[in-house]
A and B are shown apart, each in its own frame.
Chain A
Amino acid sequence: MIWWLELSLFGLLVVAALIALSVRDMIAAVATLSVYSFLAATLLALMGAVDVALTEAALGAGVTGVLLVGAVSVVDRRTPD
């Protein structure tokens, strides 16, 4: 296993989660959450769980992002926190 690839992917995962928590714009938060899901899918594919990776990429990075964009368009886009 390529250990530095996994380690850098884990680091990017944590960075994406922190950005998604701290960003003010909700659409940007949703996009960063999709990035997080895609990195998680890449990690799962590296671990050999290809079925789970496919589900994570399709549901977590695809459909959930679209549904959250739909939800953000209902509420206010800017958040004070």
Chain B
Amino acid sequence: MNDRYDSVILHFVVRVVMIPLIIVFGIYVLLHGELSPGGGFQAGAIVAAALLLVRLALGNRQAALRIPQGLLIWLACIGLGIYMFGGILPLILGANFLDYAPIPVEWYNQFAGEHRTPRSMGIFIIEFGVFFGVAAVLVLIYDLIAGSSRQ
């Protein structure tokens, strides 16, 4: 697992075809979480699968898409922080915890040209939090297992 296989076909397929396709699909699933099947959890798992595919196919010493461990922990914390932000923002604005009704959306609708209700805006925020948390934790677990097996 630690040594990379010198196969041109494997390198080409993984680098050029699979990785961009999987990451773009994951971001699509994240951004269209309210419109089509998917959401933050699925998108995080898909993007983490793409990052793990790099490590599995090209070896663990592969420099591309190698995220340092501290940054992964920070990303997981930032994901939880985004989720808690989506919960506490309505609390500040005078509603219950995680009750998205008072979230202001007019600026976003004018900025993006969409017609979002406050509740779907809250779902949008929360899915970003779940996305960062899941993707970072899955990659972190694999990096730790692979790092402990290197000795």
Contacts and interface: CB of A to CB of B under 8 A. Distances in A.
Q: Do A and B come from one complex?
A: yes
Interface of A: 50-51, 53-55, 58-59, 62-63, 66-67, 69-71, 73-74
A53 B36 CA distance: 13
A70 B42 contact: no
A76 B42 CA distance: 32
Nearest 7 CB-CB pairings of A with B? A62-B49, A58-B45, A50-B37, A70-B145, A66-B52, A73-B1, A74-B149
Dominant secondary structure at the A interface: helix
B75 interface: no
B88 interface: no
A67 B141 contact: yes
B39 to A, nearest CB: 7
Contact of A54 (B1, B2, B37, B53): B37
Given A51-B37, A66-B142, A58 B149 contact: no
B23 interface: no
A62 B45 contact: yes
Contacts of B27: none
B142 A67 contact: yes
Nearest to B145: A70
Contacts of A53: 37
A53 to B, nearest CB: 8
B146 interface: yes
A51 B42 contact: yes
13 contacts: A51-B37, A53-B37, A54-B38, A54-B42, A55-B42, A63-B45, A67-B141, A69-B1, A70-B1, A70-B145, A73-B146, A73-B149, A74-B145
Contacts of A66: 49, 52-53, 55-56, 142
B84 interface: no
B46 A62 contact: yes
A70 B74 CA distance: 23
